[in-house]
């Protein structure tokens, strides 16, 4: 049965809204099996308890997703969830989350993206979109204010993200659309395909693009004219005034070079893994730093809704053989780290091209770069044979060729499209020894041998290795840093020691990860130096809730516990809370020579963390912990 042309409309024009809250109380539901579209209207308590973003994602996964299904099954849910702060006037809230069960890890997929999509979705009058089922033919979803339509996307299938965006804008005659699009990688079910927003903002990690591809859903397009309201404008303005007065000082790094200005510094201190964790330095690393490549690649700076910082890059390059399309923005630190040092490459133009290709095809740059680096080492070790092409360390052309092949699933690209963990499983013991993943997801570019608490965060994260909802050790080793200020609000003495893990660092980790999970639910940019008190006031301004910093912590802790329940339900145990072998490989020279945890040390501190969280020795939240946090989901 065709679902193309199915429409749904609610009376959601601006004049019908009270404009007294930052949420409308309407959650859009779409079933692609039959084209049914409807709206749920949860009570206020739902919003206050879960906030949005990751909180919403976990609620729907825990209540509606059948246990242990294949993530590419039609029953998987695909959730676009801004939060109660998304789209408000507060700087840093131009973000939203996307979630599902992950086809890469079998665990939680919950990734956030900046830009304008989340804010624009709020302006359509919906607080989130929950998509289930699978269409028989390619479709896209067009949402304008309160009207929703399922439209044919057959002519868009196979197109790049940038071309798809433009073709939809043209056919709708709506040049100002905001978009969430998959490229060929998502269509081809690459297990780490991304959902790309507005052509250059990725909900990158854990394979959300493959989930979207499995549903034959090419795009979600939004355009809204409603205003996101505020319950207490004056209270919101107090937070706004504080950040507007201080961001140039507190976020000077973001204002000047953005994350790409940290490439050389992170490398020099040992923070960036090199050649699949084998080396301690990359010759020519300065080529990959913003201070060098801004001169010949930077075209412009870009920003997100309501953000004065403008940390994003727009790069462009043209010569007779190579063009870099500025529609796709520019590479951030993680992308540069994964495509550059991790692959032994110091060519900024090649790295920028690799970034452009990942955006055009719709690929997560971290998993793409890390899987290529893993394959480079496998090839060097002679573990791969019978292929017409294999990538090699330091060879920029082979990096670019690998990305094409991954997206199209050609040759070795078909193996790499499965991710490095599945490749290692097929290749055997030697390949397992050079694998760098947690819960099957490739490690970000914060070296776990340098940042040991971050390593524990990788092992524990319900999404697999992640640097965002984590505590980066060296950010808490400096008094007055934003992490230290937040920990002091919770009564934790700072700064924290740099090396290793101890009880004191675990206490800090518990509070900081709760805060980060709150940010991913609200949804707020992690670069902003907000403290618990600021976001509590912002919630008051947005929703009229009188919240304390402790309540903010409890919301974050609730979300971490819900994620833990989801892991248990999907069959994960405490034995999965670890890192693969390469993360424990110690370097013999360089800035972090001899540093790093042993597997036994990691296990010991994870047991301590369970205790701190009110979990059993097997890592399951106790009934008392769940009751305290008002969590009640069946996990069978």
Site residues for another protein per CB under 8 A: 249, 252-254, 256, 258-259, 261-262, 265-266, 268-271, 332-335, 445-446, 450, 467-468, 472, 474-475, 477-479, 481, 495, 497-499, 526-527, 590-593
Q: Report whether 405 contacts 389 (CB < 8 A).
A: yes
Helix (H) or strand (E) holding 3: none
CA dist., res. 65 & res. 77, Å (int): 7
Taking the complex as a whole, the smallest distance from the CB of residue 205 to another protein amounts, in Å, to: 12
Residue 180 or 251: the one with the smaller Cβ distance to another protein is 251
Angle of CA points 471, 476, 478, to nearest 5° = 160
Residue 42 or 261: the one with the smaller Cβ distance to another protein is 261
Q: Would you call the peptide bond into 523 cis, given omega within 30 degrees of 0 as the criterion? A: yes
Q: Would you call the peptide bond into 148 cis, given omega within 30 degrees of 0 as the criterion? A: no
Which residues does 71 contact at the CB level (< 8 Å), separation at least 6?
Answer: 100, 101, 102, 103, 106, 109, 207, 210, 211, 214
Residue 439 or 451: the one with the smaller Cβ distance to another protein is 451
DSSP characters over 236-264: HHHHHHHHHHHHHHHTHHHHHTGGGGGHH
Cβ contacts of 163-168, under 8 Å, gap ≥ 24 = 164/218, 164/219, 165/198, 165/199, 165/219, 168/140, 168/219, 168/221
Q: Angle, nearest 10°, between helix axes 53-64 and 503-522? A: 90
Residue 17, token pair as written in the block? 């809204």
Helix (H) or strand (E) holding 404: helix 396-408
Residue 59 or 96: the one with the smaller Cβ distance to another protein is 96
DSSP characters over 458-527: HHH-TTSS-SSSS--GGGGSSTTSHHHHHHHHTT--SPPPSSS--HHHHHHHHHHHHHHHHHHHHT--TT
Residue 142 or 527: the one with the smaller Cβ distance to another protein is 527
Taking the complex as a whole, the smallest distance from the CB of residue 308 to another protein amounts, in Å, to: 18
Helix (H) or strand (E) holding 69: none
The DSSP output letter for 97 is E
Taking the complex as a whole, the smallest distance from the CB of residue 529 to another protein amounts, in Å, to: 10
Residue 394 or 590: the one with the smaller Cβ distance to another protein is 590
Taking the complex as a whole, the smallest distance from the CB of residue 197 to another protein amounts, in Å, to: 15
Taking the complex as a whole, the smallest distance from the CB of residue 104 to another protein amounts, in Å, to: 20
Residue 56 or 515: the one with the smaller Cβ distance to another protein is 515
| In 544-598, alpha helices (H) | 549-569
Residue 619, token pair as written in the block? 């890592």
Residue 113 or 399: the one with the smaller Cβ distance to another protein is 113
Question: 359: how many CB neighbours lie within 10 A of its CB?
Answer: 28
Taking the complex as a whole, the smallest distance from the CB of residue 334 to another protein amounts, in Å, to: 5
Residue 368 or 474: the one with the smaller Cβ distance to another protein is 474
How far separated are the first and last CA of the chain, in Å rounded? 34
Taking the complex as a whole, the smallest distance from the CB of residue 477 to another protein amounts, in Å, to: 5
Taking the complex as a whole, the smallest distance from the CB of residue 85 to another protein amounts, in Å, to: 19
Residue 325 or 332: the one with the smaller Cβ distance to another protein is 332
Taking the complex as a whole, the smallest distance from the CB of residue 356 to another protein amounts, in Å, to: 16
Taking the complex as a whole, the smallest distance from the CB of residue 473 to another protein amounts, in Å, to: 10
Residue 166 or 502: the one with the smaller Cβ distance to another protein is 502
Which residues does 92 contact at the CB level (< 8 Å), separation at least 6?
Answer: 243, 306, 307, 524, 525, 527, 528, 530
Residue 11 or 588: the one with the smaller Cβ distance to another protein is 588
Residue 231 or 255: the one with the smaller Cβ distance to another protein is 255
Taking the complex as a whole, the smallest distance from the CB of residue 202 to another protein amounts, in Å, to: 10
Taking the complex as a whole, the smallest distance from the CB of residue 376 to another protein amounts, in Å, to: 23
Which residues does 457 contact at the CB level (< 8 Å), separation at least 6?
Answer: 466, 467, 469, 470, 471, 509, 513
Residue 294, token pair as written in the block? 């801004």
Taking the complex as a whole, the smallest distance from the CB of residue 76 to another protein amounts, in Å, to: 28
CA dist., res. 157 & res. 585, Å (int): 43
Question: 382: how many CB neighbours lie within 10 A of its CB?
Answer: 8
Residue 411 or 591: the one with the smaller Cβ distance to another protein is 591
Taking the complex as a whole, the smallest distance from the CB of residue 41 to another protein amounts, in Å, to: 36
């Amino acid at each position: 049965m065709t679902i193309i042309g199915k429409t749904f409309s609610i009376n959601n024009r601006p004049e019908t809204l009270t404009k007294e809250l930052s949420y409308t109380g309407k959650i859009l539901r779409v079933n692609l099996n039959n084209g049914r579209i409807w709206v749920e209207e949860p009570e206020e308590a739902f919003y206050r308890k879960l906030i949005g973003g990751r909180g919403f994602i976990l609620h729907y996964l825990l209540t509606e997703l059948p246990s242990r299904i294949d993530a590419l099954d039609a029953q998987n849910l695909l959730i676009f969830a801004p939060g109660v702060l998304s789209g408000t006037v507060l700087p840093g809230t131009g973000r939203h989350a996307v979630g599902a069960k992950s086809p890469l890890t079998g665990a939680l997929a919950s990734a956030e993206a900046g830009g304008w999509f989340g804010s624009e979705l709020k302006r359509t009058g919906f607080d989130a979109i929950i998509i289930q089922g699978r269409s028989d033919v390619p479709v896209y979803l067009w949402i304008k204010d309160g009207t929703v339509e399922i439209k044919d996307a057959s002519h868009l299938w196979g197109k790049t993200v940038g071309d798809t965006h433009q073709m939809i804008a043209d056919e709708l005659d709506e040049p100002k659309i905001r978009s969430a699009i998959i490229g060929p990688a998502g269509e081809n079910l690459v297990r780490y395909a991304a959902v790309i927003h507005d052509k250059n903002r990725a909900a990158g990690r854990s394979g959300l693009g493959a989930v979207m591809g499995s549903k034959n859903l090419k795009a979600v397009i939004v355009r809204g004219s409603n205003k996101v309201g505020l319950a207490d404008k004056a209270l919101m303005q107090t937070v706004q005034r504080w950040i507007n007065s201080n961001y140039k000082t507190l976020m000077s790094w973001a204002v000047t070079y953005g994350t790409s200005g940290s490439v050389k510094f992170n490398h020099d201190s040992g923070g960036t893994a090199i050649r699949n964790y084998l080396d301690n330095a990359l010759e020519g690393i300065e080529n990959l730093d913003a201070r060098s490549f801004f001169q010949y690649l930077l075209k412009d700076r870009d920003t997100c809704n309501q953000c004065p910082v403008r940390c994003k890059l727009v790069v462009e390059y043209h010569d007779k053989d190579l063009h870099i399309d500025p529609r796709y923005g520019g590479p951030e630190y993680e992308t540069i780290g994964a495509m550059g040092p991790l692959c032994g490459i110091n060519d900024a133009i090649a790295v920028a091209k690799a970034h452009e290709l990942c955006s055009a095809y719709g690929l997560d740059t971290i998993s793409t770069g890390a899987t290529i680096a893993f394959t480079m080492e496998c090839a060097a070790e002679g573990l791969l044979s019978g292929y017409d092409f294999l990538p090699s360390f330091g060879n920029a052309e082979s990096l670019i060729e690998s990305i094409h092949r991954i997206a199209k699933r050609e040759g070795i690209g078909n193996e790499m499209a499965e991710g490095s963990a599945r490749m290692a499983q097929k290749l055997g013991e030697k390949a397992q020894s050079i694998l760098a993943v947690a819960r099957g997801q490739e490690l970000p570019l914060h070296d776990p041998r340098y940042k040991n608490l971050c390593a524990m965060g990788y092992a524990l994260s319900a999404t697999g290795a992640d640097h965002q909802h984590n505590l980066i050790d060296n950010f808490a080793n400096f008094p007055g840093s934003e992490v230290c200020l937040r920990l002091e609000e919770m009564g934790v003495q700072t700064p924290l020691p740099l090396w290793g893990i101890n009880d004191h660092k675990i206490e800090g980790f518990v509070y900081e990860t709760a805060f980060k999970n709150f940010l991913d639910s609200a949804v707020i940019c992690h670069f902003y130096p907000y403290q618990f008190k600021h976001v509590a006031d912002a919630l008051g301004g947005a929703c009229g809730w009188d919240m304390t910093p402790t309540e903010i912590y409890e919301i974050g802790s609730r979300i971490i516990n819900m994620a833990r329940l989801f892991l248990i339900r999907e069959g994960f145990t405490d034995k999965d809370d670890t890192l693969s072998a390469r993360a424990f490989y110690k370097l013999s020279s360089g800035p972090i020579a001899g540093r790093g945890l042993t597997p036994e040390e990691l296990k010991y501190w994870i047991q301590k963390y369970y205790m701190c969280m009110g979990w059993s020795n097997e890592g399951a939240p106790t009934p008392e912990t769940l009751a305290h946090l008002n969590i009640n989901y069946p996990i069978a």
